[in-house]
Amino acid sequence: MRVLQYNILDGCNVKERFSKLDKWIKQNNNYEIIGFNELNDWSRRTLENIGKSWGFQYSYLLQPKTSAYYIGIISKYPIKIINTYDKEFHHGLIHVEIKGIQYLITHLKPFDSIQREQEAKFIANLTEKISGPTVIMGDLNTLSPFDEEHYDKTGVLQNFLLDKKFQGELRNNKVNYLPFQILLNAGFFDIGFSDNFQHSIPTALGGSPTKRRIDYFLVNKEMQQFKPKASVITDPILEEISDHYPVECYWDVNY
């Protein structure tokens, strides 16, 4: 089973960028589910038609009233919509079930780690009511405490202190890892962590000058039985599609 998570930057609304996205997904057609962040200006019909052109017969798009940064999912298998949330989130959250696995696709609030704590608490409370294998995926806009040693070496705190845009990433003048820790405390595992750190933002397209891993797959104990692995994907063409690299997750399971 192979799943992809991708923030495509403002709906990939530049023709040249979308053309490269289209080419890359068609060339990498072994994914069975793809979650998207920043489907700006996309409609459900747009996602449905583009998804089908890529070989995905099922799709769902959340267009939250609170944000222009839409969240979507496409799948080669039927999607059961469990619930959607927008009032509780800056960008929203989709809760679906696909072939017996629960997926929470979200995009947490940027530049405000205190608000992200509340969003993380909502997810933690929500997952208490979910039984069975569960995956949280998306641009979480927060740093994993497992990467703290790397960030200390690369001066991320100093970069945040010097850049007013990142003041919201701090709590008591320290990097605020609490939003991520709340999810870890809720029983989820950061399966993308590696001693060989790979940032998910920025690409060569630009954006943040600080290299960070903010796009994730988190799984619960029930999901761990499938031994899932996640990693950031790099490719020359991906440098020109978005300011984020996609992240893939894969596991072996017999359906």
- Tens of pLDDT, residues 219-254: 999 999 999 999 999 999 999 999 999 999 999 875
- Per-residue pLDDT at 65: 87
Under the banding of pLDDT at 50, 70 and 90, the label for residue 116 is: very high
Please state at what angle helix 113-128 crosses helix 178-185, rounded to 10 degrees. 10
Under the banding of pLDDT at 50, 70 and 90, the label for residue 25 is: very high
User: What does the pLDDT average to over 186-193?
Assistant: 98
User: What does the pLDDT average to over 26-31?
Assistant: 96
Q: Which of 233, 212, 220 is nearest to 111 (CA)?
A: 212
Task: Please report which helix (H) or strand (E) contains residue 71, including its range.
Answer: strand 71-75
Instruction: Examine the pLDDT at 141 and tell me if it is beyond 70.
Output: yes
Contact present, 60 and 72 (Cβ < 8 Å): yes
* CA 216 – CA 194 distance, rounded (Å): 12
| Token representation of residue 72 | 């979507």
* CA 38 – CA 16 distance, rounded (Å): 17
Task: Tabulate helix, strand, coil % of the chain (nearest 5).
Answer: 30, 25, 40
Under the banding of pLDDT at 50, 70 and 90, the label for residue 255 is: low
Q: Three-state SS for 33?
A: strand
- Per-residue pLDDT at 207: 77
- Per-residue pLDDT at 254: 59
Report percent pLDDT > 90 for the chain. Answer: 95
User: What does the pLDDT average to over 94-115?
Assistant: 97
Domains of the chain and any CATH numbers: 2-250 (3.60.10.10)
